[in-house]
Amino acid sequence: MRICVVGAGYVGLTTATALADFGHEVQCVDIDQAKIESLRQGKVPFYEQGLQELMNINHQNGRLHFSIQVEENIRDSPIVLIAVDTPPKEDGSSNLSNIHSVVETIASNIKGYKLIITKSTVPPGTNALLYQMLLDKGVEEDLFDIVSNPEFLREGTALWDIKHPNKIVFGTRSERPIKILKKLYQKGKASYIFTSLTGAELIKYASNTFLATKISFANEMARICDAFEVNYIDVAKGLGTDPRINRHFLNAGLGFGGSCLPKDLCALKDAAMRQNVETKLLDAVMAINDTQIDIYLKKLRTVLPNLEGKQITVWGLTFKPHTDDLRTSPAIALIKQLIRKGCYVHTYDPMVQQELANVSNFNDQYESVKNSDALIIATEWEQFHECDWSEVKSRMKASIILDARNCIDEKIVRNEGFIYLGVGKP
Ligand code: UDX
Ligand code: UDX
């Protein structure tokens, strides 16, 4: 099938590449000229495991094309998949201007039947409004179907996720598009979930806010474990062995970040508030997340009471490992707090650097700890687990490690003579 994917970002490019790999002919369009130029030269502008290779294969075999000709490609494709970003506004609600502009372009370029698929995360009720918007612009009802098809792609494993989905959600207004929709993805063992437009939108928000809830629950439990001098890891293991609960998303630490969980939580709270629904649980989930950094700075002060003038090294900048994405990264928020407290900050990340005032970035993890009073591990990259701790100790001024992701072996570092502070650990 011929498909136009609008938006070549993390979600759009991954989806476009997978669809081409499934055998479709895909035109991936974006208004960002530099991005399209880079893609045409065979270069993915961000890191996503396996994407570069798969994109090259499908670009070279002629199934995946890149263009800035948004209008023409929308006009010529019977299927248009929208994957533009829906960033948060100051008040937490979603900025839908990108999606509106794409739908306007579609409205003025419908000649024959078009299947419009919304992949971008949009607040409940949006697809129904987009449907009405198309009618108001004079597009005949028979000429299009609109479908809400949310993504559940984790950065770092996005290609694996799209190739091995556990569910494929389609929100539709009628049964008309179902036959085509079933040809879109490789279903594998996944189940199809057909629901209304708004039902699909809410499945997406419910999924991400539930994951956020598990993390904040884990973080609150870790705080309680700290108070009772109990190892939270044991509690998480005990919880996780119950299949009704499971161990996923129970890692306590600096809290959740990234471009989705915090944004989706705020957007769902905002959407509920507009319908006069109180969201006490979601409010608590956010409040816990918002105070995680304070909790760890308080921990650090138990061994380093005055942070002013201290040199602190932070390992890990991205919002989680296996990505170069810094959007809403707890590590960056932590660094900004350290700077506000008068610290000098050194950073090291295996994949990225971030220019910040009063921060020195290093390419070498051992160089980065030179003369530091403390080392904070903010993202659980594997190489931190495997590092040479005697080398680290010999370069630091004081021997303090705050493992804010519980990712290194505390016995090894304690044997090396470090003061080790972990998450929910006596
Ligand atoms: C996606 C989703 O679409 C978002 O709703 C979801 O919640 C998170 O994942 P993401 O892929 O991360 O967003 O966004 P980004 O990497 O910023 O890519 C969006 C792309 O759309 C950009 O390349 C931008 O240039 C492009 N764009 C934006 C258009 O092509 N047209 C527009 O009108 C606006
Ligand atoms: C998320 C969803 O998981 C995915 O299905 C899709 O909807 C996009 O949004 P992503 O943003 O890539 O994916 O990251 P995710 O793996 O969900 O992690 C989000 C944050 O939670 C990270 O900052 C991570 O460090 C944190 N996290 C995760 C924890 O703090 N503890 C955990 O146990 C798991």
pLDDT tens digits, one per residue of 350-397: 999 988 888 999 999 999 999 999 999 999 999 999 999 999 999 999
Domains 2-195 and 231-426 share a fold: yes
Pocket test for ligand 2, best of 152, 320, 327, 423 (most atoms within 8 A of CB): 320
CA dist., res. 361 & res. 345, Å (int): 9
CA dist., res. 187 & res. 207, Å (int): 20
Each residue's pLDDT tens digit, 92-132: 899 999 999 999 999 999 999 999 999 999 999 999 999 99
Q: Is 30 in the pocket of ligand 1 (CB under 6 A)?
A: yes
Q: Which residues pair with 387 in a beta bridge?
A: none
How far does residue 378's CA lie from ligand 2's centre (Å)? 15
Question: Which fold does the domain 2-195 belong to in CATH?
Answer: Rossmann fold (3.40.50)
CATH 3.40.50.720 assigned to domain 231-426? The reply is: yes
Give the closest residue (by CA) to ligand 1 atom 30.
Answer: 30
Annotated active-site residue in 28, 260, 266, 407: 260
Nearest ligand atom owner, CA of 205: 2
The reply to whether the predicted model has a pTM over 0.75 is yes
Instruction: Tell me whether residue 260 is one of the annotated catalytic residues.
Output: yes
Mean pLDDT by 10 residues, the chain (426 residues): 97 98 98 97 96 98 98 98 95 95 97 96 98 98 98 96 97 97 96 98 98 98 96 97 97 97 96 97 98 96 97 98 96 97 97 91 97 98 94 97 96 96 91
Q: Is 38 in the pocket of ligand 1 (CB under 6 A)?
A: no
Sequence spans of domains, the chain: 2-195, 231-426
What's residue 357's pLDDT?
86
What's residue 269's pLDDT?
97
Helix axes 197-227, 280-290, angle to 10 degrees: 50
* Three-state secondary-structure class, residue 266: helix
DSSP designation for 109? T
